[in-house]
Amino acid sequence: MIELVGVLAIPVIGAVVLAVLGARSHAPAVNVVASGLTFVAAMALTVRVIAEGPILVLDRQFFVDPFNVFLVALTAFVGFTTAIFSRPYMRIEEERGKLTRPKLRLYHSMYQLFLFTMLLALLTNNMGILWVAMEAATLTTVLLVSLYRTPASLEAAWKYFILCGVGIAQALFGTILLYFAAERVLGAGGGALLWTELNAVKAQLEPTVLSLAFVFLLVGYGTKTGLVPLHNWLPDAHAEGPTPVSAVLSGLLLNVALYAVVRSKVLVEGAVHTSFARELMMGFGLLSVVIAAFLLSRQKDLKRLFAYSSIEHMGIVTFAFGMGGPIANFAGLLHMTVHSLTKSAIFYAVGHATQKTETQLIEGIRGLVTRSPMMGWGLMLGTLAILGLPPFGVFASEFLILITAMREQPWATPFLLTALGVAFAAVVSRVQPMVFGETTAKRLPHRPAMIPVYAHLAIVLMLGLWIPPYLADWYRQAARLIG
């Protein structure tokens, strides 16, 4: 209870404090401290849930089970490390005159609020509040995407706002339909949107309405997950915003949006006794993997390249959850974790690399290893990890997903293998010359934050070699819940 309040209250207090502190030079440190405290509270909550099982508190409005608690821990962790990375990154941006103090005040305050919306979306038991939190997540980040006020960043932010706004409006319609179906079973009032209540009576919910609701929910939250063909906002928002924002969008927002899809899927599966929801998710997932993999080879901008890679990986996870079953769900959860960690590590390295060479164009970035071996190797190892090379964790999850696909959905295997191969070729051929060869890198005025990069990569490496028993147990419990 106290842990849960802490997880939600610390970011809000942090946002207020940072809005008041504003332009002081220690604001970035306060941001780190607030994110760190949130992480501590999240760990306490995790320990509690593992020890005592799922908890349902505050008039049934908040619900924590193994499925969302691992995402809460992950979200708080990546939020914390990104805050550490953002400190030197934003200082360099400020010294180069790209950002002013008032903009940094907005940035820090909104960063904390964004973390709050993510954690609220994960912890709430109310499907309506989940919607509200997802919409609020867009609102808090839209001004961050346009932080540099360049024409391209304004365009990216506008696209982000309108496309995600329209998408999320579809999800609201889906939520209304869900409520409509639930009200007939549970009666009017607050109870009919609570996930735990819905889950208890899911077999009695009207299948036609729930199928229609799921289509709207999948399209709505799928837009935020970046599933093809609803992905248009994602590469622009990732490329034009400041790099810490790209890291949290890729590492957190996409996961949480997918979490909303999976929560809806559990309800629909229970009501509709066909494989309708599964097929829809597999279809969207596979389409995203294939299209994103082929678009990777056409990218000239480094951050866009990795944004497309995020679409590809979200497609893989959606496909895994679409297949369902204990192994695919386990792999999907593991993939969510390792993708989130690896991709944010890559964005940290990419962020400093673009500062070193003062360009985001792949052609302009050369020979990072010569000037700073830590950064160059960080980017290279991150890239190899995200492409699914053993012994990193991404290999383990992709391998599990592939073997499940071969057994249960053999038709999909050639598409998956081709896409993974194409993505590998496209990304390696671009990243390799950036890391090795003649250098274009310059010195940075501050020490870059390399610790978060290697901390993330170390965890990903560990997950590839050995998943701690309690974590594996935790994934298994969550996988059972998803069904």
Partner 1 sequence: MSGVPFYAQIINLMAALLLLLAFAMLAQRRVLSLIDLFALQGLALAISTAVVAWGTHQPHLYGSTALTLLLKVIVLPWILHRLIRRLDVRWDVEGLINIPITMLIGIVLVVFSFNLAVPISQLASTVTRSTLGIAMACVMLSFLMMITRRKAIPQVIGFLSMENGLFFAATSATYGMPMVVELGIALDVLVGMLILGVFFFQIREQFDSLDLKHLEKLKEHQ
In the bound complex, what is the minimum distance in angstroms from residue 37's beta carbon to partner 1? 25
In the bound complex, what is the minimum distance in angstroms from residue 161's beta carbon to partner 1? 7
Binding partner 1 by CB under 8 A: which of 109, 126, 243, 264?
126
Size of the site for partner 1 (CB under 8 A): 52
Residues 183-202 close enough to bind partner 1 by CB under 8 A: 183-184, 188-190, 192-193
- Write down the residue that tokens 């290999």 correspond to: 395
Burial 180-194 (b: 16+ CB within 10 A, else e): bbbeebbeeeeebbb
Binding partner 1 by CB under 8 A: which of 65, 93, 135, 269?
135
Binding partner 1 by CB under 8 A: which of 179, 276, 399, 415?
179
Residues 143-172 close enough to bind partner 1 by CB under 8 A: 143, 146, 149-152, 154-159, 161-162, 165-166, 169, 172
DSSP state string for 272-335: --SSHHHHHHHHHHHHHHHHHHHHHTT--BHHHHHHHHHHHHHHHHHHHHHH-SHHHHHHHHHH
Binding partner 1 by CB under 8 A: which of 139, 201, 403, 472?
139
- Binding flag, residue 212, partner 1 (CB under 8 A): yes
- Write down the residue that tokens 């990546």 correspond to: 78
In the bound complex, what is the minimum distance in angstroms from residue 21's beta carbon to partner 1? 21
Report the distance separating Cα 158 and Cα 152, nearest Å: 10
Residues 6 or more apart whose CB falls under 8 angstroms from that of 415 comprise: 286, 289, 290
Helix and strand counts by DSSP (H, E) for the chain: 20, 2
Q: How many Cβ atoms from other residues are within 10 Å of residue 286's Cβ?
A: 23
Residue number with CB closer to partner 1 (232 or 413):
232
- Binding flag, residue 421, partner 1 (CB under 8 A): no
- Binding flag, residue 53, partner 1 (CB under 8 A): no
Enter the tokens of residue 432: 């390799």
C-alpha dihedral (303, 383, 218, 189), degrees to nearest 10: -90
- Binding flag, residue 268, partner 1 (CB under 8 A): no
Residues 6 or more apart whose CB falls under 8 angstroms from that of 280 comprise: 214, 215, 218, 322
- Binding flag, residue 136, partner 1 (CB under 8 A): yes
Q: Which residues sit at the interface with partner 1, rule CB under 8 A?
A: 126, 128-129, 131-132, 135-136, 139, 142-143, 146, 149-152, 154-159, 161-162, 165-166, 169, 172-173, 175-177, 179-180, 183-184, 188-190, 192-193, 206, 208-209, 212, 232, 236, 240, 295, 298-301
